[in-house]
Amino acid sequence: MKKYMSFFKIRFINNLQYRAAAYAGMATQFFWGFMEILIFAAFYKSNADSFPMKFQELSSYIWLQQSSIALFFIWFLDNELFTMIESGGVAYELCRPLDIYNMWYTKNMAIRVSRTLLRCVPILFVAALLPKPYGIIMPSDFSIFILFIISMFLAFLVTVSFCMIIYAITFFTLSSTGIRLVMALTAEFFAGAVIPLPFFPEKLFKAMSLLPWASMQNVPFRIYSGNINGNDAIFAMLLQIFWFVVLTIFGKFLLNKGLKKVVVQGG
């Protein structure tokens, strides 16, 4: 465990130095958050009662999404790993006396956490100062906040486990570009990154809620905003644990199978 924690610290500290990129990202997230809220506000003015989420719930959802975009969005992948796989540099990783899956998993966690810490606080601070119902508000109950924190951690684990599958599939392809695009676009759509899942038709929403992508950002954001609570929140969190276990097992199986067929030429 100490070895993996060392990798986490090294990658975490290394990524904290990219502050200019973090400032640019914050500006983008502020603009995108305001744009989304204003677009939805125009729709809500026509008939607010016909929407599955209250406008205040939606605003909190959007600001949480923008503040933690580096934590949950699939696009934030480690390009170094793709280069390593495609160039044969993965041979150096295999020489380490460590489990390669756990090592890469730890590195990806560090990258996402460091990028999120540089962006989330200013975004949430500004969002908290905005007038209702355009800003973010605290949950009505402290127990909801605790469930939100636990669900955030579980969603983070599910997201990283899904990303590990993308890295593993790269061993079987000539280029990672295609699989990255397909997997990322699919995940963002079904995770509620484009449109919150409750806005889909009821039957489709129920089906999408059972998929692994719904266990990413969808669950913690809806718990925080109050759109999901009680037994429904507990069931959603149990589903998060289920998909974390399934994706991790499948990712390890796929990675081990790919490593058995690795051929490094030259040297």
Give pLDDT tens digits for 158-201.
Answer: 999 999 999 999 888 877 788 888 998 999 999 988 889 999 99
Residue 240 has a pLDDT of 96
Q: How far apart are CA 72 and CA 198, in angstroms?
A: 19
Residue 19 has a pLDDT of 67
DSSP state letters, 159-179: HHHHHHHHHHHHTTSS-SHHH
Residue with tokens 């644990």: 241
Residue with tokens 């990658």: 11
Greater confidence, 28 or 150? Answer: 150
Amino acid (one-letter) located at 116: T
10 Å Cβ neighbour count for 104?
24
Mean pLDDT of 50-64: 90
Most confident by average pLDDT, 1-15, 44-58, 110-124, 215-229:
215-229
Q: How far apart are CA 195 and CA 216, in angstroms?
A: 14
* b (16+ CB within 10 A) / e for 230-254: eeebeebbebbeebbeebbebbbeb
Greater confidence, 129 or 92? Answer: 129
Is pLDDT of 219 > 80?
yes
Amino acid (one-letter) located at 74: I
Residue 107 has a pLDDT of 87
Q: How far apart are CA 61 and CA 132, in angstroms?
A: 14
Residue 235 has a pLDDT of 95
pLDDT bucket at 27, cuts 50 / 70 / 90? confident
Residue 29 has a pLDDT of 83
**30-39, 92-101, 237-246, 256-265: which has the minimum mean pLDDT?**
256-265
Residue 163 has a pLDDT of 93
pLDDT in tens, 68-83: 888 998 888 888 888 8
Q: How far apart are CA 250 and CA 166, in angstroms?
A: 11
Residue 265 has a pLDDT of 53
What residues have CB less than 8 Å from 187, skipping those under 6 apart?
Answer: 74, 162, 193, 213, 216
Most confident by average pLDDT, 5-19, 66-80, 198-212:
198-212
Residue 15 has a pLDDT of 67
Q: Please tell me whether residue 11 adopts helix, strand or coil conformation.
A: helix
What residues have CB less than 8 Å from 135, skipping those under 6 apart?
Answer: 59, 63, 127, 128, 129
Element (H, E) at 98: none
Contact between residue 82 and residue 170 where contact means Cβ atoms under 8 Å apart: yes
Greater confidence, 267 or 167? Answer: 167
Q: What percent of the chain has pLDDT over 70?
A: 93
Residue 267 has a pLDDT of 46
The encoded tokens of residue 266 equal: 């030259």
Q: How far apart are CA 118 and CA 102, in angstroms?
A: 25
Is pLDDT of 209 > 90?
yes
Phi-psi region of 229 (alpha: psi -120 to 50; beta: other; left: phi over 0): beta
Contact between residue 65 and residue 221 where contact means Cβ atoms under 8 Å apart: yes
